[in-house]
Amino acid sequence: MVYKTSCLLLPLALVFLDFIITSSLAKPIPTTFINVLTYGAKPDGSTDSTKAFLAAWQVACASVNPTTIIVPKGRFLVGNLVFQGKKCTDTPISIRIAGSLIAPEDYRIVASSEQWIWFESVTDVSIYGGILDAQGSSLWNCKNNGGSNCPTGAKTLLFSGSNNININGLTSINSQKFHIVINSCNNVNIDGVKVSADANSPNTDGIHIQSSHLVSITNSRIGTGDDCISIGPGSTHVSIQGIQCGPGHGISIGSLGIAEEEQGVENVTVSNVDFTATSNGVRIKTWAKNSKSFARNIVFQHINMQMVKNPIIIDQHYCFYKPCPKQESGVEVSNVRYEDIHGTSSTDVAVKLDCSKEKPCTGIVMDNVNLALQLVNQPAQASCSNANGLANDVVIPFTPCLKRDILMT
């Protein structure tokens, strides 16, 4: 029997040995390196390098080998950049930035196109390092001073209709509008980014996700005048971990339900986040109008709140445009879990579950939640309407609409 077994294993061993020899002889695919200086880019902060960056992209796009575009140290002035991927070979493209890309000082130049740097329909694109400075402060001033001719502004970095995207170690400052936008993309990893804008800068969301799937945001520091991270309709399987948020409006799912026929949001996990002096902590907001949208299977866990105005909030009566319609939200909020959330609230009401009469929130679970008033270190209050679920372990403040889990008593 031993002899027969050895004979059977011998062909397998030879096949394995042949695989090892063949693999060792296989040559690695070479990487092509492209320097934007070769195409006329100038790191002086005043010469328009837009055409040079686009030329470098065209070469990388047509390459049959993996390509790395190198942006060396210095300040590169660029206008609107649109990197099209529809005609690319889909071999991996890496962009390694040692310096800074700077938008024109006149905000109207890039604001007219609604995005400053746009990657459209690309695959296997990675960005490493670098600073994007959109110089948006003059537009903020225009808006904050009630200017009637202020444009909406440009998003700093937009990926749309794209797959397998990596953004690592990037810094985005002074965006005119949203800093980083992921729209209709699949498999996106964002790690170690820094996002910064003044606390009074309007609509400068740090990272906005919409209609995208398998998105991971990790180990990042975000402080803006709006949401640190916002998750819009049609987004699924989103993981957010290791974030420092503040100043800003917190991490928001929504707003949802502005349109009646709208996709929902599901399977979102927000974990290990520090909120400091933000207007909200973890928020779900939906428009007070008819909608078939939903937010479900959401987990907020391992979160620290310091001086946060609304640490935990579900707002199903959100309305920005006045007068607001006297309607109830049709967005269905269900299966939302709050676990291991501690810290301080800057207002009396630390937990606010303001749900819809038409579609009450269901499956709300709180487990090990302890929020105190900021100054007096006393338990805060909870406000609760049209919501139901369970309260496990310690839940402070007491949330009357959540039943005590019998198994935990």
Domain spans, the chain: 31-205, 227-408
Task: Please classify residue 199 by burial: count the beta carbons closer than 10 Å to its beta carbon, then call 0-12 exposed, 13-18 middle and 19+ buried.
Answer: middle
User: What CATH architecture applies to the domain 227-408?
Assistant: 3 Solenoid (2.160)
**Per-residue pLDDT at 392:** 87
Give the integer Cα–Cα distance in Å for 137 and 194: 18
Give the integer Cα–Cα distance in Å for 335 and 253: 14
The catalytically annotated residue of 208, 249, 302, 317 is 249
Task: Please classify residue 40 by burial: count the beta carbons closer than 10 Å to its beta carbon, then call 0-12 exposed, 13-18 middle and 19+ buried.
Answer: middle
**Per-residue pLDDT at 202:** 95
Two tokens, residue 260: 């009646």
Q: How far is CA 127 from CA 69, 94, 178, 196, 306, in A?
A: 9, 6, 18, 18, 33
Give the integer Cα–Cα distance in Å for 206 and 234: 19
Q: Is residue 233 reached through a cis peptide bond, with omega within 30 degrees of 0 on the bond before it?
A: no
Residues 6+ apart with CB under 8 A from 363: 334, 335, 336, 389
**Per-residue pLDDT at 3:** 42
Outline where 102-177 has alpha helix (H). 108-111, 137-144
- Listed as ranges, residues in the chain with pLDDT below 70 are 1-28, 377, 405-409
pTM of the model: 0.91
By DSSP bridging, strand 171-173 and strand 186-191 are: unpaired
Residue written as token pair 């992921």: 182
Q: Which amino acid is at 383?
A: S
Torsion of the alpha carbons at 300, 305, 309 and 312, rounded to the nearest 10: 20
Three-state secondary-structure class, residue 210: strand
**Per-residue pLDDT at 399:** 84
249 belongs to the catalytic site: yes
Q: Give 273's strand partners.
A: 243, 303
**Per-residue pLDDT at 14:** 46
Two tokens, residue 259: 């349109």
Measure the CA angle with vertex 334, ends 163 and 287; round to 5°: 80
**Per-residue pLDDT at 406:** 52
Residue written as token pair 């006393």: 378
CATH number of 31-205, picked from 2.160.20.10, 3.40.630.30, 3.40.50.300, 1.10.3720.10: 2.160.20.10
Q: Give 33's strand partners.
A: 68
CA 213: distance to chain centroid?
12
CA 71: distance to chain centroid?
25
Residues 6+ apart with CB under 8 A from 76: 36, 41, 42, 43, 45, 49, 53, 99, 100, 101, 102
CATH topology identical between 31-205 and 227-408: yes
